[in-house]
Every structure is written in C-alpha cells, then in structure tokens.
C-alpha cells in the first residue's frame, strides 16, 4: 500500500483506516513493539570484532540463523520484538544482555531490568528467540558465545528477514553482572519525549542527531499499546484536545479502538500504517504525511534539526538501510563488557553465573 500523502484520495485513506482498525482488533491479544538502549560509555569498544569466534565457534551465525529463520516463519512479530529487546538492553548499562536476567534468578531481592515498568510490555518472543538460540549454540560451542552477542546477531537476522539490510555484526561482548530495574526509567526514551529530550538521552550514549533519526526508523514495523499514544488522541500535553498535528482521519481510526478511559490494555496499533510487518523506509514517509503513531516519532518531522534527515530517508530506502546498519553497529558497541572483571559468559541467559 503506498504511503499516504496530502494529495491521496479519500478512498485510499479509507482503506488504510480500515486496515488500522482490523489490525487493532486482530492483534489485540497478540502483538506489540517499539524502540530503545544503555550506558554512559561513549566510545565504541575497539576489541569487538566480526571474526571474534572464527576459531572458537566458527558456525555461530549459522546456528543462530537456524533459530531466527524458524521463529520468523512461526511468529513474524519476533522481528520487532527482538530488535526492541536489543535497544532496551543497550540503553541501560550497555549491550550486555542484562535485560534478559530474571529477577527470580538474581539471588537477592533486587528487581532485574526485565521487570522495570518500562520493560513490562516487551514481548516474550524476543526473549524466546535468544533462549532458543543460546541452547543451540551451547550444544555446539559450550561456554563460548555470550548472550549479549547472541542478542546482537539475532537482532540483525530479524532486520534482514523482515526485508531490511544485512550487515556484519562485531562480536566479543561479555554478559553483564548487574541487572537493576531502578536504572531503566532514566535511560529509555518515552513515547511523549520532545526532540530535545531525545537528543539529550541519545547524546549520553555517544549517539548523534542522525543516529537518533535513523534508529527511530526501527519503528517501520511493530506495534505499540494504546497507553503509549492515547494522550495524543484526547488530551495532548494537558490541552484537553488531540494533538493538532495528527492526521484527523488517523485520529478517528485510532479512537475507534483506544478510548480515553477504560479501554482494553492489550490492544495495539501499528507504528507504520502502510507496511506494518515489513522493514522498509515507509516510516519516514508516514511522518511527512502526519501519520506518526507516537508523539516522539512525529516530532522528528517537525523539528528543523531532524526534519531534513527525515525527508532524505523518506526519499531513499538504500540510504536508510546503509545508515541503519552503521547506527546499529555503533549502538551495539555501547558499554560493551570485556573480560571476567567486568563480565561473565552465562550458560542460561536468564541467570547470572555463580
């Protein structure tokens, strides 16, 4: 379905509105998604290497690929779920798989990152993909490959399986020894963030203005719960009115399934109303057409600092793909742990080593 522009016919939008409504109903008990990440380390870890496991586990990518390809066939939502999981992992204490630790397995009363309010709606498919891949890798290369690297490779696989770019993943991360729910809230972007707030957070991770816009493009597929955008529909920033920027036809379509109060908490809507299951660059065209789902997404097409980047990526899918691959490599280096002093190699990704 083409990206809606101001010159699109009303019948085209009627089709889009209907498809949004159907998606909201069809997936009200099954689907979600969003974007994410971790630490104050701003320089890429130079010890990460594409060939890190060349001798110790040369088949690691094929082993992981056997799982991701099967998961994608069985449950396509595994793609956005795993990419979101990777974002949320990297933005809190670095890319160290601390997001996967179970509070029950911590051996103390401290809640793990996974149980922080901002992580409560992370889909189980993302965790399941890593668990299955870890089991296969451990059967062939016991004690060698970290959960952090498995998550990074899985995220790349799912981007590619959904139609996005294939890129090399640098490896050599160790798993983090600390997982604290209390560190999550201040490190995860919120759905109503302004561009200033987004820039401050991304800058603290060593990421640039362009990285912000490019990584936000992960919202080219996946879904978000009503709670993440319902204020835009009824009471935008305390105005008692809807967000004046949102396309009125999209507003009506979303209001059908997301009431102001008392709605079904499981209902979700697609980030990308045109191609919600495909990794492409339609997200940026949607922002130009005022079809952004989250306030933080739509803001990127309005701010003079980010608007030119949105426009450029909307016109050129290959430019977006190249930029996204580079930004994922950069984000994947945030706070990477190396060695036993700072990390561990877990056998069970949900449990710290004793």
Residues facing residue 174 across a β-bridge: 337
Please report the pLDDT score of residue 26 as a whole number.
Answer: 41
CA angle 19, 22, 23 (to 5 degrees): 85
Beta bridge partners, 269, equal 224
Does the annotation place 149 within a ligand binding site?
Answer: no
pLDDT at 4: 33
pLDDT computed for residue 104 by the predictor? 77
How is residue 27 written in tokens?
């997936």
Report the pLDDT value the prediction gives residue 110, as an integer from 0 to 100: 83
Give me the pLDDT at residue 41, please.
42
Annotated ligand binding at 272? The verdict is yes
pLDDT, residue 6, reads 34
**What is the distance between the alpha carbons of residues 179 and 352, in angstroms, rounded to a whole number?**
9
- Output the pLDDT for position 107: 57
Q: How far is CA 207 from CA 42, 90, 289, in A?
A: 8, 12, 27
Rounded to 5°, the CA angle 303-305-310 comes to 75
What pLDDT score was predicted for residue 105?
60
Instruction: Please report the pLDDT score of residue 64 as a whole number.
Output: 98
| Integer Cα distance of 301 and 311 in angstroms | 8
Say whether 157 counts as a known binding-site residue: no
* Residue 285 assigned to a binding site: no
- Look up 43 and say whether it is catalytic: no
Q: Which residues of 50-60 are buried (b: 16+ CB within 10 A; e: fewer)?
A: eebbeeebeeb
Instruction: State the pLDDT at residue 38.
Output: 39
Question: Which is catalytic among the residues 88, 225, 281, 352?
Answer: 88
- Give the model's pLDDT for residue 148: 98
Q: Which residues of the chain have pLDDT under 50?
A: 1-45
């Amino acid at each position: 379905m083409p990206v809606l522009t101001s010159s699109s016919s009303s019948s085209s939008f009627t089709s889009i509105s209907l498809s949004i409504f159907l998606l909201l109903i069809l997936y009200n008990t099954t689907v979600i998604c969003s974007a994410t990440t971790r630490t104050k380390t701003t320089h890429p870890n130079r010890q990460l290497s594409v060939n890190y496991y060349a001798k110790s586990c040369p088949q690691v990518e094929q082993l992981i690929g056997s799982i991701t390809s099967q998961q994608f066939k069985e449950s396509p939502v595994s793609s956005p779920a795993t990419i979101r999981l990777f974002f949320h992992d990297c933005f809190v204490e670095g890319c160290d798989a601390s997001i996967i630790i179970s509070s029950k397995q911590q051996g103390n009363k401290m809640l793990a990152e996974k149980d922080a309010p901002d992580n409560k709606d992370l889909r189980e498919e993302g965790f399941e993909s890593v668990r299955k891949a870890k089991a296969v890798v451990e059967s062939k290369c016991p004690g060698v490959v970290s959960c952090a690297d498995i998550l990074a490779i899985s995220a790349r696989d799912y981007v590619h399986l959904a139609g996005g770019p294939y890129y090399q993943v640098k490896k050599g991360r160790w798993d983090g020894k600390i997982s604290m729910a209390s560190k999550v809230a201040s490190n995860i972007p919120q759905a109503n963030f302004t561009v200033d707030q987004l820039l401050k957070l991304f800058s603290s991770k060593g990421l640039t203005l362009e990285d912000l816009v490019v990584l936000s493009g992960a919202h080219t597929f996946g879904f978000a719960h009503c709670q993440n955008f319902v204020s835009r529909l009824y009471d935008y920033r305390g105005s008692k009115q809807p967000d004046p920027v949102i396309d009125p036809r999209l507003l009506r379509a979303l209001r059908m399934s997301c009431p102001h109060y008392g709605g079904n908490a499981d209902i979700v809507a697609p980030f990308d109303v045109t191609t919600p299951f495909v990794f492409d660059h339609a997200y940026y065209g949607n922002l130009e057409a005022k079809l952004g789902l989250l306030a933080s997404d739509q803001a990127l097409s309005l701010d003079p600092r980010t608007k030119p980047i949105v426009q450029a990526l909307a016109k050129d899918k290959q430019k977006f793909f190249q930029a996204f691959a580079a930004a994922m490599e950069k984000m994947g280096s945030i706070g990477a742990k190396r060695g036993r002093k700072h990390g561990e190699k877990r056998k069970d990704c949900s449990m710290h080593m004793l």
